Amino acid sequence: MKTIDDLLRDGVAGERVFVRADLNVPLAGDTITDDGRIRAAVPTISRLAEAGARVIVASHLGRPKGEPDPRFSLAPVATRLGELLGREVAFATDTVGDSAKATVAALGDGEVTLLENLRFQAGETAKDDAERAAFADELAALADLYVGDGFGAVHRKHASVFDLPARLPHAAGGLIATEVGVLRRLTDEVERPYAVVLGGAKVSDKLGVIDHLLECADRILIGGGMAYTFLKAQGHEVGNSLLQEDQLEAVRGYLKRAEERGVEFVLPVDVLAVAEFPDLAAKAPADPRTVGVDAIPADLMGLDIGPKTQELYAAKLADAATVFWNGPMGVFEHPDFDGGTRAVAQALLDSSAFTVVGGGDSAAAVRLLGFDETAFGHISTGGGASLEYLEGKTLPGLAALED
């Protein structure tokens, strides 16, 4: 796979370089509530601009329906990107239309523009190959070179991720090169003991990665909403907690396989439970009860792992040499239920292991809870992409960058 280092060695001054970044940040109106993905994109964009390239940055944001939607405009992102780069970022109000063509044509050496949301064009996400190809042709007409650096999108077979690299000389950006290097350390070059912490809402979202990790992990710790399906599979009553009954047989199968393979499967021993899901915006005190997993009342729902589980999980991570964490332990957005996620994050920081936070809500939680991001071994920008890589799947955006 050719990298940005190869491009810079060959020289990019005066070249129009299309950078497919992942700037899919959360917005509250026009306010960016977490700029982590923008900051992660800056090094590659900055290196290209400093080398004299005319940089065309493109990304999606949210899930618009293939047509312009002001709620998902990248205009606020252009402003923040310019602040982080320390240089003006011109903003094209469309993707391949008159504004994009004029903005790109006006670029000088070392200047940067951001195109409007790629998903405002139906061709970006089309399942029809011809429709995607037609949009990729229009994008290719804007540029001379392609740099794939949006790791959070490489598991999508989208025009700007999969089809466009075939139309231009291409290379992987610094972010993608780093992400792939880290994931290889979790698959091909693992230092042991290898502990995995999985959380989040639904066990169905993690079935593939659990299946794969049973072949390579030494220890798997489960938290979040998905834990209650595991607890139910073990025979516990879980009250009104999140439960996927259609996954119980699959979960029982995983627990049996783990026992047969000698993989330690660690589940909560206590949880924080309440009668009603709290208002996350108001953050009013929810007054949760701590209950053992063998005594969850029928009228309560568990929303975080309890203090004994926090201690247990910290102990299970203390001697690990490699830790991968994907998914919060509870409803971390509310201060009454952030303790489990906070405890796991702290356990990673206290460990001497190579620690990887697998993007998505885990990365958001690290930032929201005030942890120093640089203290972790790596914080991924792509939760879904990381999981699919660990499942052993071929990621379209990575395959497209191979020579």
Answer yes or no: 384 catalytic: yes
| Cβ proximity of 270 and 291 under 8 Å | yes
Contact 254, 229 (CB under 8 A): no
Do residues 68 and 44 touch, judged by C-beta distance below 8 A? no
Q: Which of 16, 20, 36, 37 is catalytic?
A: 37
For residue 55 the two structure tokens come to: 């940089």
Helix %, strand %, coil % for the chain, to 5?
45, 15, 40
Going from the C-alpha of 209 to that of each of 85, 175, 199, 289, 378, the distances in angstroms are 36, 23, 12, 32, 19
The verdict on whether 173 is a catalytic residue reads: no
Given 199, 360, 382, 383, the catalytic residue? 360
| Helix (H) / strand (E) containing 19 | strand 16-20
CB 327 within 8 A of CB 360: yes
What are the binding residues for ATP? 206, 302, 333, 359-362
> Alpha-carbon distance 215 to 52, whole Å?
47
Tell me which of 185, 202, 308, 393 is the catalytic residue.
Answer: 202
| Known binding positions for substrate | 22-24, 37, 60-63, 119, 156
| DSSP code at position 166 | G
Say if residues 73 and 79 touch (Cβ distance below 8 Å): no
Q: Active-site residue 256, yes or no?
A: no
**Marked catalytic residue, from 123, 199, 382, 384:** 384
As annotated, the binding site for (2R)-3-phosphoglycerate includes 37, 119, 156
Residue 162 DSSP label: I
Residue with the two structure tokens 């690290």? 366
In the structure encoding, which two tokens stand for residue 317, read together?
Answer: 């991570």
Q: What is the spatial distance between Cα 166 and Cα 343, in angstroms, rounded to a whole number?
A: 45
- Say how far apart CA 354 and CA 320 lie, in whole Å: 9
208 contacts 315 by C-beta, under 8 angstroms: no
Residue 230 Ramachandran class (φ > 0 left, ψ -120 to 50 alpha, else beta): alpha
Binding-site annotation, residues: 22-24, 37, 60-63, 119, 156, 206, 302, 333, 359-362
In terms of C-beta density within 10 A (0-12 exposed, 13-18 middle, 19 or more buried), how is residue 280 classed?
Answer: exposed
Taking a C-beta distance cutoff of 8 angstroms, is the pair 282, 266 a contact? Answer: no
202 is catalytic: yes
* Tokens linked to 374: 């640089």
Catalytic residues: 37, 202, 360, 384
